[in-house]
């Protein structure tokens, strides 16, 4: 286990170096500006060496996305520790999600590239599973809070509605909302200025629609956001 030759350690380190360089290049020049040749040049090694670690640039991008997803999991876990009724804890998760998109703005771009069929198809399935697994961890964390709410009576789901449906709704609205804000001129043309407030509002109304108490019309969840920011994520930008 711990018996790694110096050489093997060097190889391990280089894997991270490749990702660092790739992240920088992707951030600066985007998907089309990222190339194996450039990574190799920037790192001062031959191209063949990069191929020892990753089969193509798509797998590098996938690895970058998994990396930031793990950051998000960490933030969600910290947020989930917030003390309060389930809906407040859910607001804390919302706050974490918001801070995540601010702190890791490139993540969305990675996500969008990987959502293209012909691009993700170039990656090995077992690597794709890493990403799915990370997503499922986020989802189950959120699902747990929904179930807590059901258990304590704050949320009553009429027969056919399942807790996962609530999670799906939050995920849709949040992912969709940030996607729309992130890309395209359209939103600016609509005269929308404070996108984050907008996403919060939509999520609040959605949970109100499921009847999750206390309703956002009777309780100020923006205050929770501020509190979570102060108490849990004070070290964040």
Partner DNA sequence: GACATTTTTTGACGGTTCGTCAAAAATTGG
Partner DNA sequence: CCAATTTTTGACGAACCGTCAAAAAATGTC
**12: contact with DNA by CB under 7 A:** no
Smallest distance, DNA to C-beta of residue 188, A: 27
Minimum CB distance to DNA smaller for 121 or for 231: 121
**28: contact with DNA by CB under 7 A:** no
Specify the stretch interacting with DNA by CB under 7 A; choose among 10-18, 83-91, 152-160, 204-212: 10-18
Select from 20, 38, 175, 219 the one that contacts DNA (CB under 7 A).
38
- Report how many residues bind DNA under the rule CB under 7 A: 23
Q: Is 234 helix (H, G, I), strand (E, B) or coil?
A: coil
Residue 235 interacts with which of its own copies, DNA, none, CB < 5 to 8 Å by class: none
Preceding omega of 214 cis (within 30 degrees of 0): yes
Select from 177, 225, 228, 233 the one that contacts its own copies (CB under 8 A).
177
Minimum CB distance to its own copies smaller for 52 or for 172: 172
Q: What is the CA radius of gyration of the chain?
A: 20
**35: contact with DNA by CB under 7 A:** yes
State the DSSP string of 32-75.
Answer: HH--HHHHHHHHTS-HHHHHHH-SSHHHHHHHHHHHHHHHHHHH
Which pair of structure tokens corresponds to residue 158? 């009429």
Minimum CB distance to its own copies smaller for 90 or for 232: 90
Smallest distance, DNA to C-beta of residue 16, A: 13
Distances (CA, A) of 174 to 164, 195, 225: 15, 11, 15
Say how far apart CA 223 and CA 54 lie, in whole Å: 45
Compute the C-alpha angle 94/127/35, nearest 5°: 95
Specify the stretch interacting with its own copies by CB under 8 A; choose among 5-13, 46-54, 175-183, 226-234: 175-183
Residues recorded for the chain: 237
Residues 115-144 that bind DNA (CB under 7 A): 122
């Amino acid at each position: 286990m711990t018996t790694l030759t110096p050489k093997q350690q060097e190889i391990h380190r280089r894997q991270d170096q490749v990702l660092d360089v790739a992240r920088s290049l992707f951030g600066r020049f985007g998907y089309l500006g990222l190339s194996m040749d450039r990574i190799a040049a920037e790192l001062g090694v031959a191209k063949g060496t990069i191929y020892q670690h990753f089969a193509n640039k798509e797998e590098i991008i996938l690895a970058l996305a998994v990396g930031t997803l793990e950051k998000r999991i960490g933030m969600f876990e910290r947020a989930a520790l917030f003390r309060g009724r389930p809906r407040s804890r859910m607001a804390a998760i919302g706050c974490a999600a918001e801070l995540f998109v601010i702190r890791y703005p490139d993540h969305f771009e990675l996500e969008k590239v990987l959502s293209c069929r012909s691009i993700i198809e170039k990656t090995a399935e077992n690597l794709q599973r890493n990403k799915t697994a990370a997503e499922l961890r986020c989802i189950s964390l959120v699902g747990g809070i929904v179930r807590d709410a059901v258990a304590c009576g704050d949320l009553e789901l009429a027969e056919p509605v399942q807790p996962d449906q609530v999670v799906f709704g939050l995920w849709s609205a949040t992912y969709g909302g940030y996607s729309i804000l992130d890309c395209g001129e359209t939103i600016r043309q609509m005269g929308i200025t404070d996108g984050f407030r907008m996403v919060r509002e939509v999520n609040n109304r959605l949970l109100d629609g499921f009847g999750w108490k206390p309703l956002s019309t009777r309780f100020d969840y923006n205050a929770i956001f501020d509190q979570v920011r102060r108490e849990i994520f004070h070290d964040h930008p």
